[in-house]
Structure 1
Amino acid sequence: MSETSAWHGLGLDALSALREQRWPALPEGIQMRHVHPDRWVRFHSLPGSKRYPESDDEYAIMLERHHTVLNELGPTDPELYVITREWNEDSEPLARMPHLRQVDPDARHWGSHVHDDDFPDYIVYEHEYVSVRPCTRQALDPLLRLVADEVIAGVTLAPLDLRWLYHPYDGGGDVYAPSASVTALKAAHPDWLSTHPTTRPSTGSSTSSCSSSCGQRSTAATRSTRTASGTSTVVIWRMSVPCSAAVRTPC
C-alpha cells in the first residue's frame, strides 16, 4: 500500500453490514435527504454559488471549505473511508480509470450491482471501491480537485464508524449526519448554504439539472457503449446507493 494509506477499517462484509445499519438502502427513486431532511445540508464550495473554480485562489477556497466541513464533522477522526464509484456495461469490475488509480491507489473492490436497466440493450453496472486514507490535505486534495473539475463523480467520505457521510460534488458538498451536527454546521457557515436546495421527492423523472439560478453550466453524465455498428452514448443520472442527488448533482 502507499505511504499515505493503510487498511485499518472493517472487513468488507462487516463494512457492508455497518452501512446497512447506519444508512439503510432506500427504495429506488427515494433519496436519503427526502426521508431525513433534518440530517442533510448542502454547502456550495465557492462564493456566489459559482460552480467551477478557475484560478488558484478559487481552488484554495474550494479545498478550504471541504476540509473545514470535514474537520467540523470529525475533529477526532484521523482516517476516513474513501468510497469511489465507476460505471460501465460489464457486470465484473474492469481496470479502474487512470485518474482514480492515481489518487486512490489502494482502493479495494467492495461490490457491483445494476445501476441502470431502463434500456435492456444498455444495462449499466455500478462498481464500488473503498479505501482508508488519512484525513489530510495530502491524501484528499487530489481526489477533491478531480471532483471539482467534474472528472469523477460518486465519491463518499466517511469516518470508520460511518456516523456521518460527506459527498463532494462539482460545486459543493452534501452532508448527512445527526441533526445536531447539521444544525451546528448551518449556523457556522450560513454564507455557504445553497439558496435553493432540493428537498422535494422525485416525481419519477430520472433526469436532473443544475438550477438556472446557479449561473453555471449544466451537462449530463454519460457513458459510451461500443457496439458492432458503432459507439452509442447513454445518459446516466440515478445512483442506487445513498448519496447526493445523482451522478450529476444540482446546485
Structure 2
Amino acid sequence: MTAVQFDQFWLSRFPHTPPISHYFRHDYGDKWFRIHSLPESKRYANTEAEWETLLTRQNAVITDVLGLDTSILLVTGDYLYDELSAEEVDFTLDSVLTLESIAGLPFEPATRTDLHRMDPEEYDSGRIYQPFFCEQIWRPHQFDAVLKDIADDCTRVLFIALERECIAVPYDGGVDLFLPTAEARDTYRTKYQAWLSSREDGL
C-alpha cells in the first residue's frame, strides 16, 4: 500500500476521524467497548505473571475481533510543529519510529493532519500530526513487543482489519475495540464480560 492508497483508504472508511487513537471512542462510541488487561482493573504490569496475563488477554480479544491471519494496518504517528516542510522533517530524531518494537516494521508516512485547523481550541497554531502506516498479518503474540510498549505508555498504535470493519486500540490499561455494528459490539462485550470495567461508562 502506498501513501496515496492509504489516504484513499482512510478517507473512504473514516472521513471525519483523524488517525489518532483517542478520537475513535468519541466518534464511534456506539460501536465501542473496552477490556482491561489485568484483574481488578490494575493499569500497569509489574511482574512476569502480570505481563503474561496482559498479553494473553490482549492477544485473545484482538485475535477474536480482527481475525486470525487477517490482513491489518498498523497506524501510529508523531505530534510535531510545522516549522519544517514535510521533506525536511527528520523522523529519526525523538520519533515513535525509533522505538525498538516499531523500528523493525516497514512504516511509511502518510499525509499529515493540521491539528490546529481541525480543532483550534485544543491545539496551538502549527501543531500537526504525522501518521505512519504499514500492512501486516495479525497472528497471536507476533506483536507482543509493540503491545508491551503501548502498555508502558510509550506509544499508541491502531490495529485495523482491512476486510472486517473492526479496530483494536490497545492503551496503557487495556484495549478499546470497535465493531461494525452496535449489535456486534454487544455480542463481544457479553463474551468478554469478565474483563470489562465495573464502571457504568465502561472506562
- Shared fold (TM-score, shorter chain, > 0.5): yes
Instruction: Quote the residue 2:192 is aligned against.
Output: 189
Higher helix share: 2
Asked whether 1:75 is paired with 2:67, we answer: yes
Asked whether the 8 Å contact 1:19–1:162 carries over to 2, the reply is no
Asked whether 1:46 is paired with 2:45, we answer: no
Structure 1: unaligned runs, 5 residues or longer: 1-9, 200-250
Structure 2: unaligned runs, 5 residues or longer: none
Instruction: Quote the residue 1:126 is aligned against.
Output: 129
Asked whether 1:94 is paired with 2:90, we answer: yes
- Equivalent position amino acid for 2:97 in 1: L
Partner SS, residue 151 of structure 1: coil
Q: Distance in 2 between matches of 1:34 and 1:112?
A: 21
CA pair 100-198 structure 1, distance change in 2 beyond 3 A: farther
CA pair 197-128 structure 1, distance change in 2 beyond 3 A: farther
Instruction: Quote the residue 2:101 is aligned against.
Output: 103
- Alignment root-mean-square deviation, CA: 2.7
Using the aligned pairs only, state the percent identity: 22
Q: Distance in 2 between matches of 1:34 and 1:114?
A: 19
What's the CA shift string for 1:15-67, capped at 9, x where partnerless?
3222222223159xx95445543311111111111111111111111111111
Q: Distance in 2 between matches of 1:81 and 1:147?
A: 16
- Equivalent position amino acid for 1:135 in 2: W
- Equivalent position amino acid for 1:128 in 2: P
Asked whether the 8 Å contact 1:46–1:58 carries over to 2, the reply is yes
Asked whether the 8 Å contact 2:68–2:139 carries over to 1, the reply is no
CA pair 98-192 structure 1, distance change in 2 beyond 3 A: same
- Equivalent position amino acid for 1:95 in 2: F
TM-score by length of 1: 0.65
What's the CA shift string for 1:42-98, capped at 9, x where partnerless?
111111111111111111111111111111113344332111111122453422446
Asked whether the 8 Å contact 1:18–1:162 carries over to 2, the reply is no
Q: Distance in 2 between matches of 1:13 and 1:198?
A: 38
Asked whether 1:112 is paired with 2:108, we answer: no
Q: Distance in 1 between matches of 2:128 and 2:164?
A: 24
Moved beyond 4 Å, runs of 4+: none
Instruction: Report the count of equivalent residues.
Output: 186
Does 1 or 2 have the higher relative contact order (CA < 8 Å, sep 6+)?
2
Match of 2:150 among 144, 147, 162: 147
